[in-house]
């Protein structure tokens, strides 16, 4: 038996040592209190895939447009960089941070946490990195960005002739592998292995 409390309603709960299912919910408010286990090697592979997909995103164009014989194409970074140059650095930074920088940081943090644990080490920094991961998760918005690209395409399609670039296909996969990685990751499992800070 392990004593804990619900993080959403505060009630004291005793977690049974052997859960009947892999998840345990709060008896009062039904918040998810505990999950058991996680597929280490699959998460690591997915996180590496996400990082590899990020590389072509930096140079492949997501869209190209033609207006009356003029041509314009841009990668995600170019599109956002133009925004910085035109005097909207705050909005550009917010987009770059939540859609690209934070997701990549999250994947790196996950690898730094999971690889040593998987190999049987218990480095002290894991706890600190995990808290950074928690904060970054609140602000990572890849899935929102993906839908916003779709909306932008529809809005632009009645202004100009539009061609989808390979960067967009890569970004769709990037968003999908990112999402799967964070779904599979289970922080409870880190603490179940305890003795991290000893």
Partner 1 sequence: MPYVNDIEANRVLCTHCQKLHDVSAVRCDRCGGHLHQRRPYALLLSWGFVLSGLVFLVPANLLPMMVVKSIAGDDAGTIMDGVIHFLHTGAYGIAFVIFAASVFVPFFKVSVMLYLLLIIHFRWRARIMGGLKLYRLIHFIGKWSMLDIFVVALMVGLVQFRELATIVTGPAAMAFALAVVMTMVATEVFDPRLLFDMQQRSRT
Range 15-44, binding Zn ion (CB under 5 A): 26, 28-29, 31
C-beta neighbour count of 140 within 10 angstroms: 22
Residue with tokens 């998987």: 118
Which range touches partner 1 (CB under 8 A), out of 1-9, 38-46, 50-58, 168-176?
Answer: 1-9
Q: Which helix (H) or strand (E) holds 4?
A: strand 2-5
By CB under 8 A, residue 1 contacts partner 1: no
Q: Give whichever of 7 and 118 is closer to partner 1, judged by the CB atom.
A: 7
Q: Are 147 and 80 in contact (CB under 8 A)?
A: no
**For 89, what's the count of Cα atoms within 13 Å in the CB-facing half-sphere?**
1
Which range touches partner 1 (CB under 8 A), out of 43-51, 62-70, 109-117, 172-180?
Answer: 62-70
Q: Are 168 and 64 in contact (CB under 8 A)?
A: no
Alpha carbon distance, N-terminus to C-terminus of the chain: 21
Residues that bind partner 1 (CB under 8 A): 3-12, 28-29, 33-34, 63, 65, 67-68, 70, 72, 74, 78-83, 86, 88, 90-92, 94-95, 98-99, 127-128, 130-131, 134, 138-139, 141, 143-145, 147-149, 151-152, 154-156, 158-160, 187-188, 190-191, 194, 196-197
């Amino acid at each position: 038996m392990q004593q804990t409390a619900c993080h959403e309603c505060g009630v004291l709960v005793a977690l049974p040592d052997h859960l009947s299912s892999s998840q345990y919910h709060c008896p009062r408010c039904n918040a998810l209190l505990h999950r058991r286990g996680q597929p280490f090697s699959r998460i690591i592979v997915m996180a590496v895939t996400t990082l590899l997909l990020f590389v072509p995103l930096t140079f492949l164009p997501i869209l190209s447009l033609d207006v009356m014989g003029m041509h314009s194409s841009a990668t995600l970074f170019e599109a956002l960089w133009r925004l910085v140059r035109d005097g909207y650095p705050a909005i550009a930074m917010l987009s770059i941070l939540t859609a690209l920088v934070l997701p990549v940081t999250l994947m790196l943090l996950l690898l730094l946490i999971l690889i040593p644990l998987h190999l049987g080490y218990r480095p002290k920094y894991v706890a600190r990195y995990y808290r950074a991961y928690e904060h970054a998760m609140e602000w990572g918005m890849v899935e929102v960005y993906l839908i916003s690209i779709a909306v932008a395409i529809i809005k632009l399609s009645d202004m100009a002739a539009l061609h989808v670039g390979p960067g967009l296909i890569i970004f769709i996969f990037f968003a999908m592998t990112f999402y799967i990685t964070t779904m599979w990751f289970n922080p409870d499992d880190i603490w179940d292995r305890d003795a991290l800070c000893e």
